[in-house]
Homo-oligomer: A and B are copies of this chain.
Amino acid sequence: MAEVPPVAALDLTNAPKIRAALDAKAKPAGALGRLEALALQIALIRGTDTPKLGEARLIVFAGDHGLTAEGVTAYPSIVSGLIAQLILDGRAGANIMAAQSGTTVLVVDAGLLRPLPPHPLLIEHRIAAGTRNSRREAAMTAAQYDRALAAGIAIAGAEIDRGADILALGEVGIGNTSAAALVAHAVTGIALATLVGPGAGAPPGGIAHKRAVLEAAYGRQPVRHPAAALAEFAGFEMVMLAGAMIGAAAHNRMVLVDGFIATAVATAAVALAPNLRERLIFAHASTEPGHKALLGHLGATPLLDLGMALGEGTGAALAIPLVRAAAAILTGMDDLAAVLARAGGSPA
């Protein structure tokens, strides 16, 4: 199995000092609500009371799924590559969300059926032309799993080296709500009935068919270990996403987690590296029905609840301005005492 880099527990030594700094700002204590809790989290992750955040990246991992042969989705696999290309063309949902914070969007080909033409924003890490059909056999070999996880870790590290402090992570992959439900079921024990939803579009045979396929796939190899669950059921884009989460956390950077699939990946990644949890910021509540249960499993309350369920990291990207605003409470606001002093002392 791939080596998972160490992710240390957050050092909480400065937490009281950071809380006091937040309370001292020119506002009633707590008046910025969840952004203050987020500011504390960011300061602890970055290890400074005044976190000046560098660039953000939206990294969208794309891959195809052999399980689509079982009729679990309304869209054909070719759509994964088309959407990945559309993101590179700058005309997808991911782009308009990232544009609100001036964030660069990168696409990683983790294993699409067909390669994409070279592009400055495309990172080529193809493990294979799609996974195998997990209803019949493991989605990937142990060696493929290892390569995908290592690639995700390396991609996060490279972007951090280039100045990224905020990693918003998303995915594209027709069939991956099925893969995500299987991985999350294996890791968390939450019933497949809870985790199976329409995804990007209910399959021709209905959600009951999708559920029956997933029950059969899990019954084929009912694993519980997160690495085994990812190798048996995930897509390459999901394993790479798990690696990127762990890689970012190992470098003390924030990870913005998107919707159902990214959160399912997070359940596995946190099981592999428990201290990762404290570096995750959950961006939005998806309408995919199983998302709520996964958030509950992770003890997470997302920042946004806008009824979205598009994937591509759209929700994660949309939360970047909230992360920057939270950090700026510590770096960009004056203390109330300083404001009062300018008026010639306390007015009380």
Query: Which residues does A use to contact B, with CB under 8 Å?
Result: 25-28, 30-35, 76, 78-79, 82-83, 85-86, 89, 91-93, 95-97, 99-101, 200-201, 287, 303-310, 314, 318, 321-322, 324-325, 328-329, 332-334, 339-340, 342-343, 347-348
Contact = CB atoms under 8 A, between A and B. Distances in A.
A78 B347 contact: yes
16 contacts: A26-B92, A28-B310, A32-B310, A33-B287, A76-B347, A82-B339, A82-B340, A83-B339, A91-B333, A93-B333, A95-B333, A99-B325, A99-B328, A100-B322, A306-B322, A321-B321
A330 to B, nearest CB: 10
Contacts of A348: 76
A79 B347 contact: yes
Given A79-B347, A92-B26, A332-B91, A306 B339 contact: no
Given A26-B91, A31-B310, A34-B306, 20 more contacts: A26-B83, A26-B86, A28-B201, A28-B310, A31-B93, A31-B200, A31-B309, A32-B93, A32-B310, A82-B342, A82-B343, A91-B334, A92-B333, A93-B329, A96-B328, A96-B329, A96-B332, A97-B325, A100-B325, A303-B306
Contact of A332 (B99, B304, B307, B339): B99
Contacts of A347: 76, 78-79
A332 B79 CA distance: 19
Nearest to A314: B32
A113 B7 CA distance: 54
B200 A101 contact: no
A134 B307 CA distance: 43
Nearest to A319: B321
A259 to B, nearest CB: 10
A327 to B, nearest CB: 9
Contacts of A306: 32-35, 303, 322
B308 A93 contact: no
Given A99-B328, A303-B306, A309-B33, A93 B27 contact: yes
A52 to B, nearest CB: 13
Contact of A32 (B35, B83, B308): B308
Contacts of A92: 26, 333-334
Contacts of A303: 306
A75 B2 CA distance: 58
A321 B306 CA distance: 13
Closest A-B pairs by Cβ, 8 of them: A33-B307, A96-B328, A100-B321, A31-B310, A91-B334, A33-B308, A96-B332, A34-B306
Contacts of A201: 28
Contacts of A89: 334
Contact of A26 (B27, B31, B93): B93
Nearest to A324: B100
Contacts of A318: 321-322, 325
Contacts of A332: 91, 95-96, 99
